[in-house]
């Protein structure tokens, strides 16, 4: 598929607008506040390069050589992981470790591998628990895992199970199997604790390795567990876990609205939070984060769910298994629903959508934003945080089908971002209420806007030879890593 050069270059210009403002006002700081033109570091530290390292592979892919050299120079001369404070094991792994590894993959520059090893050797301490599940935070300077201060035995399931791509690739590069076995062991613990429907609650005990009474969802603290099962599909054990969990999603969570027949993914909420019986009730709520699943289902259908090694573009039904055909159709339908949630005053989707369960032809939408009153005070659910999940799925759908509507959808989202989130003085900010125009903005340019949202938009308008799906996996922060056959022998089996 050929590039749409004009639209691709418009995305590059948007990235330069965002990056130049950060570089001008906050170079080296972990986070950026574009309205006040200030940077902020995490954990009361001197910073560990969240924004720089998260964005550098996008800079490289876009061919922005001067910006790349300045970012590389900062990583070479100023990046220092010997920092006290409590850094998120998950966020640091997917953003910083993932960014270093992906840039090494793209450039073969050993600076990035050296920095990755330094960071990984500090993060790996988090896995030293009774169960082998990683603690949620790490003191990088003192190389000490840190428990959740509000619930010392609680670990987020997705956060514990979204480290495997990074540590396994680093193990393959360095032949240090400690990275591999510690991260792989997490999946063994989760598999042993799984519920009959093969879905996972969002919290698990760090000491016992058993699930805590908590929601089952594909939004926050649940999403990337399922994503990484597919991304590790070169191994049969992960393929089985993926297929079993997709069956559970279809059995328990896939719903269809009664008016417009829109497919969405509901949540399961405990009926009794303290019973320990894992008895749930359905909640008709879908986070924007869930929109990753549309592309994941489509990709899974053409790989795990295919009956032949390669499939056509677009895939033909006879090339897919029965489960593959089911997953493909659910993915296509879910992506349409995600685009449906962009039918707002700004053309941007809210953080959380609630779905109507009663047929009502008087309502213009099958979904609504909880506690939102256009023109009134904004609710958390109503905001658009520059998130990437829908454009991530549009990227996968475009690559797998060549259907121009997916490029058109992506361009519509991009133009809405340009119109409502762009700051004239540089940078982009969170839109507080997607259904209210003129918009109010929150003073935050998320790092994932640079590492994910704009990267996926760029790739949608590139030629398909750039990071082909058959050779590349993307971690949950959109850092590309290679598909490889491991040389380290797995210990985990069912």
Which positions are annotated as active-site residues?
91, 223, 351, 389
Angle between helices 5-26 and 50-61 (to 10 degrees): 150
CB contact at 8 A, 466 and 61: yes
Tokens 């109503």: give the residue. 382
| 318 token code pair | 């006879």
d(CA 405, CA 382): 26
Task: Name 425's Cβ contacts closer than 8 Å, sequence gap at least 6.
Answer: 21, 34, 37
Q: Cα dist. 55→59, 80, 394, 425 in Å?
A: 6, 17, 21, 20
d(CA 213, CA 226): 19
Q: What is residue 444's three-state secondary structure?
A: coil
Handedness of CA 118, 124, 125, 126 (dihedral sign): positive
Q: Count of CB atoms within 10 A of residue 130's CB?
A: 11
β pairing state of 472-474 and 480-482: antiparallel
Q: Count of CB atoms within 10 A of residue 278's CB?
A: 18
CB contact at 8 A, 226 and 245: yes
CB contact at 8 A, 190 and 245: no
d(CA 486, CA 476): 20
70: part of which helix (H) or strand (E)?
helix 65-77
Closest among 189, 194, 186 to 93, alpha carbons compared: 186
d(CA 86, CA 51): 18
| 435 token code pair | 């259904």
């Amino acid at each position: 598929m050929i590039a749409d050069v004009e639209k691709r270059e418009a995305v590059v210009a948007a990235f330069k607008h965002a990056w130049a403002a950060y570089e001008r006002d906050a170079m080296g700081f972990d986070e950026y506040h574009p309205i006040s033109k200030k940077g902020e570091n995490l954990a009361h530290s001197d910073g560990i390069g969240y924004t720089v390292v998260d964005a550098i592979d996008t800079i490289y892919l876009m061919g922005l050589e001067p910006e790349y050299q300045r970012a590389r120079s900062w990583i070479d001369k100023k990046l220092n992981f010997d920092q006290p404070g409590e850094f998120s094991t998950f966020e640091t792994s997917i953003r910083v470790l993932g960014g270093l590894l992906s840039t090494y993959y793209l450039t073969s520059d050993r600076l990035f591998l050296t920095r990755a090893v330094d960071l990984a050797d500090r993060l790996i301490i988090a896995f030293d628990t009774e169960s082998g599940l990683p603690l949620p935070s790490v003191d990088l300077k003192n190389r000490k895992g840190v428990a959740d201060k509000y619930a010392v035995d609680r670990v987020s399931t997705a956060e514990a199970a979204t480290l495997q791509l990074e540590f396994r690739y680093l193990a393959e590069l360095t032949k240090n199997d400690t990275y591999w076995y510690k991260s792989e062991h997490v999946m063994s613990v989760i598999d042993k604790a799984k519920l009959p429907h093969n879905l996972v609650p969002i919290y698990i005990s760090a000491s016992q390795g058993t699930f805590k009474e908590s929601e089952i969802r594909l939004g926050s603290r649940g999403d990337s567990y399922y994503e990484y099962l597919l991304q590790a599909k070169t191994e049969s054990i992960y393929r089985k876990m993926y297929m079993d969990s997709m069956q559970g999603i279809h059995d328990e969570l896939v719903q269809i609205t009664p008016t417009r027949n829109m497919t969405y993914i509901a949540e399961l909420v405990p009926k009794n939070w303290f019973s320990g019986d894992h008895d749930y009730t359905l909640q008709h709520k879908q986070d924007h984060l869930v929109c990753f699943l549309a592309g994941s289902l489509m990709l899974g259908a053409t790989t795990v769910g295919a009956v032949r090694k390669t499939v056509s573009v677009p895939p033909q039904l006879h090339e897919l298994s029965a489960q593959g055909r089911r997953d493909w159709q659910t993915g296509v339908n879910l992506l349409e629903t995600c685009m449906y949630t962009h039918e707002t005053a700004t053309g941007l989707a809210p953080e959380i959508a609630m779905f109507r369960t009663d047929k009502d032809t008087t309502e213009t939408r099958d979904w609504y934003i909880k506690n939102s009153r256009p023109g009134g005070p904004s609710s958390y659910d109503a905001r658009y945080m520059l998130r990437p999940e829908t454009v991530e799925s549009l990227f996968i759908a475009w690559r797998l089908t060549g259907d121009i509507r997916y490029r058109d959808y992506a361009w519509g989202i991009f133009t809405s971002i340009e119109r409502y989130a762009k700051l004239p003085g540089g940078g982009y900010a969170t839109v507080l209420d997607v259904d209210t125009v003129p918009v109010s903005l929150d003073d935050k340019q998320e790092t994932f806007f640079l590492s994910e949202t704009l990267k996926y938009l760029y790739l949608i308008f590139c030629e398909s030879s750039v990071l082909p799906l058959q050779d590349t996996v993307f971690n949950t922060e959109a850092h590309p890593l290679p598909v490889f056959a491991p040389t380290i022998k797995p210990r985990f089996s069912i």
